[in-house]
């Protein structure tokens, strides 16, 4: 099977969160990827929102998708060296669960240094009944 890829640069602003979510849903539909689009959209929302909350500003973020042999890898790069962490849940904090969600849903995820910033990635296995 061939590998399908796409990349888009977006402003590191709150407006980019729904744009990234919509883009990912449309790309998965076009690729006929077997992964649950709701799960993927949720993970993209969390990772892009992390950039906006912790590394946003006037910069850009890069959203990358790769689909190969039924596996889906999505990455978000930005110009900040601040790494995401899986924090502990506290009832008095209304936010801060994003990386816990990524950790719970993704098959694998990680962070790597790139060009003075970081690249947060996650991988999802082929969905059930995908025949892959």
CATH code for position 15: 3.30.565.10
Q: Is residue 128 over pLDDT 70?
A: no
In a domain, 93, yes or no: yes
Domain holding 65, by residue range, is: 4-124
In a domain, 36, yes or no: yes
- pLDDT tens, position by position, 19-42: 999 999 999 999 999 999 999 999
In a domain, 129, yes or no: no
pLDDT band with cut points at 50, 70 and 90 for residue 132: very low
* 112, β-bridge pairs: 119
In a domain, 58, yes or no: yes
**Tally of domains within the chain:** 1
Residue-level pLDDT at 131: 46
As a whole number of angstroms, the longest Cα–Cα distance in the chain is: 48
Exposed / middle / buried, residue 4 (Cβ in 10 Å: 0-12, 13-18, 19+): middle
- CA–CA dist 78, 89 (Å, integer): 25
| Residues 74 and 61: beta-carbon distance below 8 Å | no
Of 8-12, 43-47, 83-87, least confident by mean pLDDT is 83-87
In a domain, 131, yes or no: no
Q: Is residue 97 over pLDDT 80?
A: no
User: Which is it for the CA torsion 82, 63, 16, 25, positive or negative?
Assistant: negative
Using DSSP bridges, classify how beta strands 71-78 and 108-114 pair: parallel, antiparallel or unpaired.
Answer: unpaired
pLDDT band with cut points at 50, 70 and 90 for residue 51: confident
In a domain, 37, yes or no: yes
> Greater confidence, 131 or 103?
103
In a domain, 11, yes or no: yes
Q: Is residue 96 over pLDDT 60?
A: no
In a domain, 78, yes or no: yes
pLDDT band with cut points at 50, 70 and 90 for residue 90: low
């Amino acid at each position: 099977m061939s590998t399908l890829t796409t990349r888009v640069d977006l402003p590191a602003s709150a407006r980019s969160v729904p744009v990234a979510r919509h883009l990912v849903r449309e790309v998965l539909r076009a690729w006929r990827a077997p992964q649950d689009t709701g799960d993927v959209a949720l993970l993209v929302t969390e990772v892009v929102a992390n950039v906006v909350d912790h590394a946003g500003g006037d910069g850009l973020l890069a959203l990358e998708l790769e689909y190969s042999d039924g596996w889906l890898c999505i990455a978000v790069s930005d110009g900040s060296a601040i790494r995401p962490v899986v924090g502990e849940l506290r009832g008095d904090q209304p936010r801060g669960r994003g990386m816990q969600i990524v950790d719970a849903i993704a098959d694998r995820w990680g962070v790597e240094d790139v060009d003075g910033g970081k690249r947060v990635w996650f991988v999802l296995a082929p969905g059930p009944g995908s025949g892959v």
